Amino acid sequence: MRKIDTVLGRLDKEYPDADIALLFDGVFQLLVAVMLSAQCTDVVVNKVTPRLFAKFGDAVAMAKADVREVEKLIYSTGFYRNKARNVVGAARMIVADFGAEVPCEMEDLLKLPGVARKTANVVMNAGFGKAVGIVVDTHVGRISRLLGLTEQKDAVKVEKELMKIVPKKKWGRLPYLFIEHGRKVCIARRPQCRDCVLSDICPSSQV
């Protein structure tokens, strides 16, 4: 069995319920939540979005929002000025160019203000059920390097290398497994290698 198959098989057994942690209702709210999660924890985002979505829960409402009001509602997520500007700007483009519906193609998502490939990948997978790439956040990149799956540090390059070795049907699943493992066991500053189900096949294991 290939190493990546072993890795994913073991992590699937370890974290059968691993899934997106953000709370949302519909693709537009997912998009906004992911945009707010940059440099911020999902826990903080989930505390902010109920009030935000109560006022601006869809693209039409957000497109009409005062950026300063959005800034106040998302302040605790950090980088709130840029995020507010991008969220409102994305909503306005969605309304103007895509009939008020979040576009379901990667190339169109990448046209939206504040949307890079990581965000677009999350929306494509969790919002539309389409696997067109692999979400690479800090956990995914770090664990991929520790396991020897890549030596790349740039997220886009990591994604390209993972797409070559990971079965396409697992592209959407891998990020959640790696994120869960990174939070619970393969913790950046204090990895729990003795409790890791991958320690025997991980070249970085400290066991």
Question: Domain residues of the chain, as ranges?
Answer: 3-18+134-195, 27-128
Q: Which of 196, 177, 198, 175 is nearest to 185 (CA)?
A: 196
- Return the active site residues: 118, 137
> How far lies 138's CA from each of 13, 118, 126, 144, 183, in Å?
23, 11, 19, 10, 11
pTM of the full structure? 0.94
Per residue of the chain (207 residues), give pLDDT as tens: 699 999 999 999 999 999 999 999 999 999 999 999 999 999 999 999 999 999 999 999 999 999 999 999 999 999 999 999 999 999 999 999 999 999 999 999 999 999 999 999 999 999 999 999 999 999 999 999 999 999 999 999 999 999 999 999 999 999 999 999 999 999 999 999 999 999 999 999 987
Considering the segment(s) 3-18+134-195 as one domain, its CATH architecture is Orthogonal Bundle (1.10)
Task: Name the CATH superfamily for 27-128.
Answer: Hypothetical protein; domain 2 (1.10.340.30)
Judge whether 126 and 132 are in contact, CB under 8 Å. no
C-alpha to C-alpha distance for 33 and 24, rounded to whole angstroms: 7
Judge whether 21 and 175 are in contact, CB under 8 Å. no
C-alpha to C-alpha distance for 174 and 148, rounded to whole angstroms: 15
Other CB atoms within a 10 A radius of the CB of residue 29 amount to 22
